[in-house]
Chain A
Amino acid sequence: GAGVSQSPSNKVTEKGKDVELRCDPISGHTALYWYRQSLGQGLEFLIYFQGNSAPDKSGLPSDRFSAERTGGSVSTLTIQRTQQEDSAVYLCASHQNTEAFFGQGTRLTVV
């Protein structure tokens, strides 16, 4: 596609439920990031995929968070047993040797 696509754009879930957020990067981009943007907070790095290398998971806030990138393209961020503090906008970005291009984000609200 022309840009980075994320789905869903909005997600409301009950506390304790699991959620999956999807990111379709720009075709051919080998690097893919997940970030979290909370109200009043900056951009928080979660996880980074680069080609076939092992992902950099150093930003994941707890073991309830995990991400996969299948076939070097689509990525899924999974949050298990969601908590209210997980409410945020989850952003995906991809790049190929230049600047990163961001998706519109998924606004997650845990009630």
Chain B
Amino acid sequence: AQSVSQHNHHVILSEAASLELGCNYSYGGTVNLFWYVQYPGQHLQLLLKYFSGDPLVKGIKGFEAEFIKSKFSFNLRKPSVQWSDTAEYLCAVRVGAGGGNKLTFGTGTQLKVEL
């Protein structure tokens, strides 16, 4: 079964610092990749997704992620974080090209941005 690893469980940054959160998965075939975000008191929502095509994916609020197939990675980046980016970030993988397969989530990274 596929697995998803997020090695950074807690990250603390100052405003304007750059962010990179790691995500690695274990499956070698076709995958769909997702980053979700959960702001304090809100429900989980999609930040960005990769299905095919350009491996550099742009999402909302200035976030981007790069799919590197050879490294089985889908790291999330933002050049300059804001206090409002404080949230939990979860990476998810779905195996296969179809939509009928289960999403597998990583354990999440709690990001705290300090003023």
Contacts and interface: CB of A to CB of B under 8 A. Distances in A.
Contact of A105 (B43, B92, B98): B43
Given A102-B43, A104-B43, A97 B98 contact: yes
Nearest to B104: A45
Contacts, number: 53
Q: Kindly name the residue among B6, B43, B90, B100 whose own CB sees the greatest number of chain A CB atoms within 10 A.
A: B43
Given A43-B90, A91-B44, A99-B46, A31 B108 contact: no
Interface residues of B, number: 20
Interface in A27-60: 30-31, 33, 35, 41-43, 45, 48, 50-51, 56
A95 interface: yes
Contacts of B98: 97
A100 interface: yes
4 residue pairs, one from A and one from B, having the closest CB atoms: A97-B99, A42-B107, A102-B44, A43-B105
Given A43-B107, A95-B103, 16 more contacts: A31-B99, A41-B107, A42-B6, A42-B107, A43-B90, A43-B105, A45-B104, A50-B102, A51-B100, A91-B43, A93-B103, A97-B100, A100-B34, A100-B46, A100-B92, A102-B45
